[in-house]
């Protein structure tokens, strides 16, 4: 079956135009994710280049038209590289795409208008495209946690195949006999097949980026689902998931796992006297103090209402009590002012660990919760340890 090159170019132009619109819409609805609009522009450039080639690219076409097609293709490739940097939340280094753009433009003008040599132009442009696609592949074939790894590697492998195809084309053209017809208008049998293969891989590249967008959106939604909207801390569900993971790790390693249960003293009276908006701000201030006080591998969460929890891996009850008292003092020293009224607040903290109650999360929470109520009954603004409460030893860290 003979492949109709012009029909393939038209279909490629239409498909890439549709993908450009799809990516543009994705960029509008995923404003927090960078890179989608750059990829939309890249697909638009590919679509325009394919349409121009379909409409008027023949051996007698204007040299500037050939240069325009090369510039559009290279611009699309460069925008994809910049889109990858943006998607990874990196600073876009525009020097790299501008360098490739300048090199491709200069050699296209040189080998098309100043010293016409279609073979040399095709080889030089193929090498430039191979280089920029290799850079895109290198930026994506990295170690990253699933599920993004699947999308990254699928897209990266597609870029690597495009780079290999460009190098293969350069090698074929380098060995071609002098005077061989070069370009999209060539009747060489490998050209339509190569164009079809390259177009399919290019579709895979765009499909891969859409997978990257999809996985990023899913990841972001999961993070939102595990976060408290008021304080930004983990919510109860998020804490329970982390507790399951940490318990499994502690079972393997034999490490202890400690927990703090924190409750704001007289929080109901704060809401009644100052209003719920002030109460919300009190919780936000406590969150800020707690997040500044805990260690990088601890997990702080709003467990419900004015009650918070902190999971402390590789920590005993005694060590957790020291950290809890440091947090209690930091919060007690905080002066808050709302509407000209100065407000001071305190917290009571209960502490427990897996050495005394086991690794089951509900048992840890229950033990620390009991210790927290003991701290409140002892006068509030205190830290109480569950093991001390069980042994009936009247020893608490007090203000």
Could you give the residue numbers annotated as active site? 306
| Cα angle for residues 28, 32, 34 (degrees, 5° grid) | 80
Side-chain half-sphere of 25: how many Cα atoms within 13 Å? 6
Q: In the 3-class helix/strand/coil scheme, how is 324-372 assigned residue by residue? A: HHHHHHHHHCCCEEECCEEECCCEEEEEEEHHHHCCCHHHHHHHHHHHH
User: Is 97 within 8 Å of 86 (Cβ atoms)?
Assistant: no
> For 385, which DSSP code?
E
Q: Which residue has the tokens 């502690």?
A: 250
> For 90, which DSSP code?
P
CB atoms within 10 A of CB 105: 16
User: Is 9 within 8 Å of 50 (Cβ atoms)?
Assistant: yes
Task: Give me the phi and psi of 382, to 5 degrees please.
Answer: -140, 165
* 308 burial level (CB within 10 Å; 0-12, 13-18, 19+): buried
Six-digit token pair at 399? Answer: 């203000």
Distance CA 349, CA 265 (A): 10
């Amino acid at each position: 079956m003979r492949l109709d090159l012009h029909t393939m170019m038209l279909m490629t132009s239409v498909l890439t135009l549709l993908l450009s619109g799809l990516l543009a819409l994705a960029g509008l609805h995923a404003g927090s994710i960078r890179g989608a609009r750059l990829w939309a522009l890249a697909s638009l450039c590919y679509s325009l280049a394919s349409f121009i080639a379909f409409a008027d690219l023949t051996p007698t076409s204007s040299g500037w038209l050939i240069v325009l097609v090369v510039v559009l293709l290279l611009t699309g490739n460069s925008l994809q590289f910049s889109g990858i940097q943006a998607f990874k939340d990196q600073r876009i280094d525009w020097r790299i795409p501008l360098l490739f753009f300048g090199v491709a433009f200069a050699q296209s003008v040189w080998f098309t208008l100043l010293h016409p040599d279609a073979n040399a132009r095709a080889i030089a442009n193929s090498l430039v495209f191979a280089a920029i696609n290799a850079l895109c592949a290198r930026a994506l074939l990295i170690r990253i946690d699933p599920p993004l790894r699947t999308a990254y590697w699928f897209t990266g492998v597609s870029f690597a195949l495009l780079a290999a195809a460009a190098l293969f084309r350069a090698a074929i053209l380098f060995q071609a006999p002098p005077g061989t017809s070069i370009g999209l208008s060539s009747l060489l049998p490998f050209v339509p097949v190569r164009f079809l293969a390259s177009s399919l891989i290019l579709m895979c590249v765009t499909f891969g980026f859409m997978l990257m967008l999809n996985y990023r959106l899913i990841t972001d939604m999961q993070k939102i689902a595990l976060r408290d909207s008021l304080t930004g801390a983990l919510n109860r569900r998020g804490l329970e998931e982390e507790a399951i993971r940490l318990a499994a790790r502690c079972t393997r390693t034999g490490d202890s796992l400690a927990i703090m249960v924190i409750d704001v003293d007289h929080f109901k009276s704060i809401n009644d006297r100052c209003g719920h908006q002030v109460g919300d701000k009190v919780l936000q201030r406590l969150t800020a103090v707690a997040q500044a006080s805990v260690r990088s591998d601890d997990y702080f969460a709003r467990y419900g209402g004015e009650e918070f929890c902190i999971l402390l891996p590789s920590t005993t009850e005694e060590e957790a009590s020291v950290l809890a008292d440091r947090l209690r003092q930091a919060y007690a020293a905080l002066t808050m002012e709302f509407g000209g009224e100065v407000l001071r607040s305190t917290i009571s903290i209960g502490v427990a660990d897996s050495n005394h109650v086991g690794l089951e999360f509900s048992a840890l929470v229950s033990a620390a919760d009991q210790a927290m109520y003991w701290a409140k009954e002892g006068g509030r603004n205190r830290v109480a340890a569950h093991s001390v409460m069980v042994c009936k030893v009247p020893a608490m860290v007090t203000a």
